[in-house]
Amino acid sequence: MTTEHTPTFSKQLTFAVPKGRILDEALPVMARAGVVPEDGFHDKANRSLSFDTTREDMRLIRVRAFDVATFVAHGAAQIGIVGSDVVEEFDYADLYAPVDLDIGHCRLSVARLAGDPEDASGASHLRVATKYPNLTTRHFEQQGIQAECVKLNGAMELAPSLGLARQIVDLVSTGTTLKQNGLVETQRIIDISARLIVNRAALKTDPRVADLVAAFRKDMAQA
């Protein structure tokens, strides 16, 4: 005879958020769903990575965007916010993105030097600088092109002028940064927005996670 174990949910929920522009846009959305960080969270000089919230059963962690997905996918955090570019790049089986938050809009695009006549059409092999090797590889494979991805985490716009790669794949918002570095956008890969993400196991076993998803969905429906 087996006895079913009912979880008590005494453990704090961990909500992972990304540093940077998406977080600034996400904070009002989070507040409407009942996720409000402590006052120290807004102090620019505060280098802490973990923060209390107005809920005793929840804390926030503030990490790099790619790490948000990793923490949630592996269950170290139960819920988080990240750009859909990160979700698509990693495609974690244990990650579920149930709500489009309609913020953090930008696009993932291919770019090259304005004076470089080379185009992807007709080429069978390209060297591309990017921090999105999986999305980049899939994009060019669909065109019958083998992409040799050079992994960079920043300063992507320097790669063509320094001869590291003829093309780059990076996030584009206004296109100003590309223009200032002598680059032109040649292909749009995907449009991006911020998503609420959850750990699939936590969603099934902890009703607090499902309640948060419902709160964010309700807010989006009323927007």
Are 25 and 97 in the same domain? yes
Are 90 and 57 in the same domain? yes
Are 203 and 98 in the same domain? yes
Are 19 and 100 in the same domain? yes
Q: How far is CA 218 from CA 118, 162, 205, 222, in A?
A: 48, 49, 21, 6
Q: Is residue 6 part of a domain?
A: no
Cα 79 to Cα 14: distance, rounded to the nearest angstrom: 7
**Count of domains forming the chain:** 2
pLDDT recorded at residue 121: 54
Are 121 and 162 in the same domain? yes
Residues 6 or more apart in contact with residue 158 via CB below 8 angstroms: 164, 181
Domain encompassing residue 184: 106-191
Are 198 and 169 in the same domain? no
Q: Is residue 72 part of a domain?
A: yes
Residue 5 binned pLDDT confidence (cut-offs 50, 70, 90): very low
Cα 145 to Cα 164: distance, rounded to the nearest angstrom: 19
pLDDT recorded at residue 2: 39
Q: Rounded to two decimals, what is the model's pTM?
A: 0.88
Residue 69, Cβ density class (10 Å: 0-12 exposed, 13-18 middle, ≥19 buried): buried
Are 87 and 32 in the same domain? yes
User: pLDDT (tens digit, 9 = 90+) per residue, 74-124?
Assistant: 999 999 999 999 999 998 899 999 999 999 999 999 999 998 876 545 678
Note the Cα 179 to chain centre separation in Å: 24
Cα 150 to Cα 58: distance, rounded to the nearest angstrom: 39
Are 17 and 121 in the same domain? no
Residues in the chain: 223
Are 116 and 49 in the same domain? no
Q: Which two tokens stand for residue 4?
A: 């079913």
Strand partners, 185: 111
